[in-house]
Amino acid sequence: MNATGTSATGARPEGASDEQSSAAAVRQMFNSIAPRYDLLNHVLSCNIDRVWWNRTARRFRHVLAQPQASILDICCGTGDMTLALLRRRPVGAAPVLAADFSHAMLARGAEKFRHHNAVAIEADALHLPLSGSSLDLITTAFGFRNLANYQSGLREFHRVLKPGGELGILDFSEPSGLVGKLYAFYFRRILPAIGARLSGMGSAYSYLPASVQRFPPPQQMVRLMEDSGYTQVSWTPYTFGIAGLYRGVKA
C-alpha cells in the first residue's frame, strides 16, 4: 500500500483513466517541460540531484568497469544519469544505451552526450526493442515512477537482463518524522508553485508530488521486485530518505 492506503499499479496523471491514457499524458507532459527541465531540476533540488546520480553510478562501478558490459539507462530524460555512468566507463568500452519515450527529452540528452560513448534510442520502457537476456545492467533515475504499470516495467527489465544482470532504480520516496513533514510541505506547496512559475506548466509540477505520494513505499517496492523475479533486492536511502536506490539481481 502507498501513503494514501491504496495499491498503486502505475502512474496516473490527472484525467488519465487507464494505462494507455496515462502513458500518453506522461509523454506529452515531459515533451512540454523539456526546454526548462534541467534548470528546474537543479534549482528545485538545490543540486542534490547531481549527488544522487553519481552515488548511483558508483554503486555499479564493478559492472561499469567491464569494457564489454551491455548497459541501458532507461527513462534517461535529458541524460544526466547517462553521463554519470559514462564517467565510469573505460576507454574503448561498449557504448551505453540511453532510452526514453519522450522525443523532446531524449533530443536534449542526445545533445549532451553527443561527444561521449552513448547511443540514444527512442523507446518505451514497457516494450524495449532489445533481445532477451542481453544486458548486464539497467539503470533508471526518477523515471520508473512515471511508468503506467510498475510490475510490467520490472518484468520487461527482467526479460532483457542477463542472468546475474543488475537493476538500479533511483527514485523519490516520502521520509518519515520531522524531516518528512518539512519535506512534504516543501514538496507539495512550495515546489509546485516555483515549478509552475518558472516553467509555465503548473500541472507538471503538481503531478510530481502526487506521483511520489502514489508510488509504492520502499517495503512494497522491494516485495514487488522480489515477486518479479529479482534476488538480493535492497533499498538504500539517500538524503534522509527523500530519494533512494532500489537494487536487484536477475537470478
Size (the chain), residues: 251
Bridge partners for 231 per DSSP: 249
Nearest in space to 74 (alpha carbons), one of 173, 211, 210, 167: 167
CATH 3.40.50.150 fits 19-250, yes or no: yes
Bridge partners for 250 per DSSP: 230
Instruction: Give whichever of 86-90, 174-178, 197-201 has the largest mean pLDDT.
Output: 86-90
d(CA 219, CA 225): 10
The percentage of residues in the chain with a pLDDT greater than 90, rounded to a whole number, is: 73
Enter the pTM of the model: 0.93
Per-domain residue ranges of the chain? 19-250
| Spatial CB neighbours of 91, under 8 Å, sequence gap ≥ 6 | none
The more confident residue out of 103 and 3 is 103
CA distances to 10, 74, 85, 170 from 21, rounded to whole Å, are 12, 21, 32, 25
Does residue 43 have a pLDDT over 60? yes
The whole-number pLDDT of residue 30 equals: 92
Q: How far, rounded to the nearest angstrom, does the alpha carbon of residue 108 sit from its chain's CA centroid?
A: 17
Does residue 72 have a pLDDT over 80? yes
Kindly give the residue spans of alpha helices, DSSP state H, lying in the chain.
19-33, 37-45, 48-59, 61-64, 80-86, 103-112, 150-160, 177-185, 191-199, 202-214, 218-227
